[in-house]
């Protein structure tokens, strides 16, 4: 026969993980948790035209809602990176130089990432795109 204290301890040990898992599930009416997907390594490449090579380096994070969206975005990261590299290669000194121009580029990058994911998954999944670091060498 098992002593009552030992039985209580065993039942408690078995129920604690279940309680922890129940707390992690989003409650009805609650917004899903925000997650960030970092595109690692940084995007590095050439941009513009002319006789002299111009370089950029961009550290980018994508804001998504929930772990399911995070997993899907991570799965399509190579396609997202390709789209962003193509977008950066089309830029000029003017489109990368001023703060307003960088904001326009950020919005265009977000739009293109959302389009790629919409064509692959049927939904855009990415809520925002952030430049953690954007360095250019004209």
Q: What is the pLDDT of residues 102-132, one digit of tens each?
A: 999 999 999 999 999 999 999 989 999 999 9
- Among residues 94, 87, 88, 64, the alpha carbon closest in space to that of 76 is found at 64
Rounded mean pLDDT, 69-92: 93
H-run or E-run covering 27:
none
Per-residue model confidence as pLDDT tens digits over 81-102: 999 999 999 998 888 888 888 9
Residue 95 counted as domain residue:
yes
Residue 8 counted as domain residue:
no
Is the pTM for the entire model greater than 0.95? no
- Among residues 119, 125, 116, the alpha carbon closest in space to that of 78 is found at 116
Provide the CATH number for the domain around residue 52: 3.30.479
**End-to-end CA, the chain:** 80
Residues 64/125, Cβ–Cβ less than 8 Å = yes
| Domain of 121, in residue numbers | 34-137
């Amino acid at each position: 026969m098992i002593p009552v204290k030992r039985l209580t301890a065993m039942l408690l040990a078995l129920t604690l993980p279940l309680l922890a898992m129940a707390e992690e599930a989003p409650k009805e009416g609650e917004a899903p948790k925000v997650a960030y997907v970092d595109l690692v390594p940084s995007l590095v490449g050439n941009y513009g035209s002319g006789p002299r090579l111009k370089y950029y380096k961009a550290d980018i994070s994508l804001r998504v809602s929930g772990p399911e969206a995070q997993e899907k975005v991570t799965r399509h990261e190579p396609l997202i990176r390709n789209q962003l590299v193509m977008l950066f290669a089309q830029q000029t000194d003017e489109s990368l130089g001023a703060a307003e121009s960088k904001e326009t580029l950020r919005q265009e990058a977000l739009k293109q990432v959302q389009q790629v994911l919409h064509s692959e998954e049927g939904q855009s999944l990415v809520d925002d795109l952030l430049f953690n670091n954007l360095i250019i060498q004209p």
